[in-house]
Amino acid sequence: MEEFLSRWGYVAIVVGTFFEGESVLLLAGALASRGTFSLPLVILTAFVGSVSGDQVWFHLGHRFGRPFVEKRPRWQVRASRVQTFAARYGDWFVVGFRFIYGLRTVSPAVLGTSGYPARKFNVLNAVGAALWSVTFGTLGYALAASLERVLHRAGRIEELALVAVVLAAIVVGITWRKRRAVIDTKRH
């Protein structure tokens, strides 16, 4: 996927986030930490892809109704979960559905079939997409930057680990000798 993103750039981020996208966005954020992409542009393109994809699914659900969802057997269990979450959390669910694994694509379609107001969906979807894009883009960036620092210090870490193992061996050896001496004393 790294090669795909590197080759197609920001277009790949838009396409990847149009569909599900967490892995695409995390990797794009990681590549931004290495200088391949600009983090603000990664976040912006992920936002555009995410909002666009969800709008398409919402309007397909709105246009074709329940049969659109029912024709997709793999969506049935998820559709039930979406309805439960939407009833329980209302507008908060619309903002946060993309953070719930496996519900990103089906949620807008189910909401579209349910008569949820399109204008309200547009606004809340944009808010959710902004939060999601910033969160996962920044998370990918931060994780990659942290890993890079750890790998740079790996030689030092290996040295410290070796010292810790030697010290642990000495402590275990001393402890074993003391216990052995106690056992030998009790025998005599």
Note the pLDDT of residue 97.
94
Closest CA to 113 of 153, 161, 59, 76: 59
Residue 101 tokens read as 């694994």
Helix (H) or strand (E) holding 68: helix 66-70
Q: What is the pLDDT along the chain (188 residues), one digit of tens a residue?
A: 667 777 788 988 999 999 878 888 988 999 998 889 999 999 999 999 999 999 999 999 999 988 888 888 888 888 889 999 999 999 999 999 999 888 888 999 999 999 999 999 999 999 999 999 999 999 999 988 887 766 666 566 666 666 677 777 777 777 776 666 556 556 65
Distance (Å) of CA 131 to CA 51, 135, 139, 157: 11, 6, 12, 36
Domain boundaries along the sequence of the chain: 2-152, 154-188
| The pLDDT of residue 174 | 72
Angle subtended at Cα 22 by Cα 102 and Cα 85, rounded to the nearest 5 degrees: 35
Compute the C-alpha angle 39/96/121, nearest 5°: 100
Residue-level pLDDT at 110 = 94
How much is the pTM?
Answer: 0.76
Q: How many CB atoms lie within 10 A of CB 36?
A: 14
CB atoms under 10 Å from CB of 57, counted, come to: 22
